Chain A
């Protein structure tokens, strides 16, 4: 890998359950092709997938931007959606506002944000009610 920063953006569409997870699968493939360690790639992929499913389930649309430098892998997640009223509550395992349809897809058990936190070295969440949510997820390369 060179010292140059690698950047690639992926669009995510709300309620598109058929394609949900496609962006994260692509991100995983990209990191794997860069030759990054499989343990690191798996952690980033899991965090990315949970964030993508959150957008598909709750937001109208969103963008995931993958940034790779020699030191870090960062995924910047920005959505247009309802926002998160209480971030501390949303971080608790088991807390969920998912509908039965979302649970039928195998998600919405209230493990999304806790699982993102578990698989990242740093996580910053900001949210505006009725506007959207912004996540910055970072994993150290070494």
Chain B
């Protein structure tokens, strides 16, 4: 029998903080020239951006209201966005979005966009838009 006990501090080291809202899903879409795959409200606020293909990294680095930019296109992306209270998902590199992924996004009400640009360029353009506007893109890790 292996036993390990781990106790974390009462206050998590990476507690979420409220960010100044200055960006919307519509502005994100325009900045990267993305197609709307499914989005009920382009005026919904965006508090920051996280770019990753590893969903555990997204769970660590994101905050509520972030947009996820990823090259991964499976249902776990939508489940991760749901769990982490993300504002939406941008599938970069013109990824084909499987029907089950889109169906889950609609069910979970997670806005979905598709961008033909590379993950690097998509993230770079969004950094330029978000940097200095939400206060969450000035450094890593986010505050």
| A contact residues vs B (CB 8 Å cutoff) | 17-18, 20-22, 24-25, 28, 38-39, 42-43, 45-46, 49-50, 53, 83-88, 91, 104-107, 109, 111-112, 115, 117-129, 140
Contact = CB atoms under 8 A, between A and B. Distances in A.
Interface residues on B, range: 35 or more
B2 A127 contact: yes
Nearest to A44: B83
Interface in B101-122: 108
Given A43-B12, A49-B79, A121-B8, A126 B54 contact: no
Of A45, A50, A91, A106, most B-chain CB atoms within 10 Å: A106
Interface string B50-63: 00011111011000
Interface of B: 1-10, 12-16, 53-57, 59-60, 64, 72, 74-77, 79-80, 82-85, 100, 108
Contacts of B83: 21, 24-25, 28, 42, 45-46, 49
Given A106-B72, A118-B13, A111 B8 contact: no
Given A42-B16, A50-B56, A118-B12, A106 B76 contact: yes
B94 to A, nearest CB: 19
Given A42-B64, A43-B12, A50 B59 contact: yes
B60 A125 contact: no
B84 A42 contact: yes
* Interface residues of A, dominant DSSP: mixed
Contacts of A85: 2
23 contacts: A18-B75, A21-B75, A24-B79, A46-B59, A46-B83, A84-B2, A87-B3, A91-B4, A105-B76, A106-B55, A106-B72, A109-B54, A115-B56, A117-B6, A121-B10, A122-B8, A123-B5, A123-B7, A123-B8, A125-B2, A125-B3, A125-B4, A127-B1
A28 B6 CA distance: 23
Contacts of B57: 109, 111
B77 A106 contact: yes
Given A21-B76, A28-B83, A117 B8 contact: yes
A107 B55 contact: yes
